[in-house]
């Protein structure tokens, strides 16, 4: 999924997801305010939901790029 597709996802009904790992994240004040604003725009989504979706979309985008995609494929072979 791409980050630009997230608003469409957030407008749909929320699906339960298992969260197996926890991170402590510190954001600059401006970024935290943006996340809070998104959570206000999409009241069915918490700030944590917003951040989880953004990170997942960014990771999907990164690993779809040729250099990382190739390196990950090589790593799986070893």
DSSP-assigned letter for residue 42: S
Helix (H) or strand (E) segment spanning residue 9? helix 6-11
Looking at per-residue pLDDT, the higher value among 66 and 25 belongs to 25
Kindly tell me if the per-residue pLDDT of 77 is higher than 80. Answer: no
* Residue 59 near residue 52 (C-beta atoms within 8 A): no
Query: How confident is the model over 23-62, as pLDDT tens digits?
Result: 999 999 999 999 999 999 999 999 999 999 999 999 888 8
Q: What's the rounded mean pLDDT across residues 9-22?
A: 85
Rounded to two decimals, the pTM is 0.77
């Amino acid at each position: 999924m791409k980050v630009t597709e997230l608003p469409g996802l957030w407008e749909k009904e929320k699906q339960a997801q298992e969260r197996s790992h926890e991170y402590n994240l510190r954001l600059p004040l401006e970024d935290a305010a943006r996340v809070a604003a998104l959570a206000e725009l999409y009241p069915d989504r918490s700030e944590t939901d917003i951040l989880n979706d953004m990170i997942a979309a960014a990771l999907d985008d990164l690993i779809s790029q040729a250099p990382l995609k190739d390196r990950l494929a090589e790593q799986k072979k070893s």
